[in-house]
Amino acid sequence: MQHEALRLVRVFHDLNQTTLAERLGISNSYLSEIESGKKAPTLELLQKYATTFDMPVSSLLFFSENLDSPTRSDKVRATIARKTIKMLQWISAKDTIA
């Protein structure tokens, strides 16, 4: 789920993979692997995302919460994360149509 959130943050800010990869100081292929879920981002890379998009790392980590956690508060956080991602997907789709 984290890879999808990172992709949506990029799309929301209207950046293509090449531009973001340059800003993050990584290769385009590495960014593609992260966004497809083939590789996990390092904490250092998440910090670069946070700096690039002017947001706390904790907001990025929020999306990577364990969705199968048995506690009620974790289930609530997971539900909010899923809804937030759906909203970002909707915004992304809407921007591509316009």
Q: What would the DSSP string read from start to end of the chain?
A: -HHHHHHHHHHHTT--HHHHHHHHTS-HHHHHHHHTTSSPPPHHHHHHHHHHTT--HHHHHHTTS-TT--SHHHHHHHHHHHHHHHHHHHHHHHHHH-
Domains assigned to the chain: 2-97 (1.10.260.40)
Look up the pTM and report it.
Answer: 0.66
Q: How far apart are the first and last CA of the chain?
A: 26
CA distances from 42 to 2, 47, 55 (A): 12, 9, 17
- Nearest CA to 9 out of 29, 27, 31 is that of 31
User: pLDDT of 26-80, one tens digit each?
Assistant: 999 999 999 998 998 999 999 999 999 988 888 777 765 543 344 556 666 667 7
Question: What confidence score (pLDDT) does residue 72 get?
Answer: 57
Residue 2: which pLDDT band, with cuts at 50, 70 and 90? confident
Question: What confidence score (pLDDT) does residue 63 get?
Answer: 61
